[in-house]
Amino acid sequence: MPFCLDNLVEDRASFFAAHWNSTPAVFEASDLPAEMLTEREITDMIDCGLLSHPYFSVIKDGKLVNPAATVRSRVVVGNRLNDLVDPDAARRAFCDGATLRLNQPDHWQESVYRLLEVFTEEFSAIVESYAFLAPAGSREQRKRPAGTHTFVIQLEGASEWKIGGRATPEVRRYGLAADTVLYIPQGMFCEVEVAEKSSLHLECTVIEPNAEETVRAISEAIIERIGKDPRSTSHHLLPTAEKTEWIRTAMGRFLGEPDLQDLIARAAALQARRR
């Protein structure tokens, strides 16, 4: 069977019924794509020195470190390239307790790309990936944009998450070991702790269209429908009252039997264009 959401949340139907947009939950992942990211692969990429900002960033105490502190210029095949990772600076930051983050590794890592395809096919939303390599003993409050659903996939090591907020007023703890998945609904805060060994996890985020984008999608669809009416070519000749009644009736018919999948797709497209 092809890799799908069931491989991440055990049972898709049960997940949406019991947890989606409501409560955090931990699942056992099964049959993850081969050759997922490893700590060794990340450190080799850093040592190579060709990883560039903004694909690479450093987080310390929950805040992004100024990129100027961890990048350098290099001449590669006769061309000077700026914003390349400084391996020594990145390693010093990691040893000092900072977390190394790879932004959108799906752009170059095939297994992450295949994983993200699952979310792209499942949700009409913006989906993105981030890999976090955190040192032993680190603790970090994770800031998430409004409306962000997060799937945390523990790849190596272990981590412990404290989550609270809208759906869970009391803070709860969730432990992750390798090949486990944590779902965090939108509207919740979280803090991640790493104990004895370094931890590598992947975060796949799902950001659905907001209310404004949804309204714009509805307006776009209504205007498109009205534009197909023969009267649209001579609407300027219609009395205002007649024109208003025509548009009101058209809007009522549209909203009475909307094509929800089309509206969702339109809203997602508007969202993508505004990113």
Res 275: pLDDT: 61
pLDDT level of residue 167 (50, 70, 90 thresholds): low
pTM of the model: 0.81
pLDDT band, residue 145 (cuts 50/70/90): confident
Burial string for 140-165 (b: 16+ CB within 10 Å, else e) reads: bebebeebbbbbbbbbbbbbebebee
Instruction: Give the pLDDT score at 1.
Output: 66
Q: What span, in angstroms and rounded, lies between the C-alpha atoms of 50 and 149?
A: 31
**What token pair was written down for 132?**
């976090």
Q: Distance (Å, rounded) from C-alpha 247 to C-alpha 267?
A: 22
- Cα separation, 155 vs 3, in Å, equals 17
Question: The tokens of 256 are what?
Answer: 């009475």
Q: Name the token pair of 3.
A: 């890799």
Average pLDDT score over residue span 11-23: 95
* Closest by CA position to 99, among listed 128, 68, 129, 70: 70
Structural domains of the chain in order of their starting residue, each with its CATH number: 1-208 (2.60.120.650), 211-274 (no CATH)
Residue 208 has pLDDT above 90, yes or no: no
Sheet holding 63-64, edge to edge: 25-28, 180-184, 148-156, 199-207, 126-134, 99-103, 56-60, 63-64
What pLDDT does 168 receive? 57
**pLDDT of 17:** 96
Distance set, CA 46 to CA 50, 61, 101, 162 (Å)? 7, 21, 11, 30
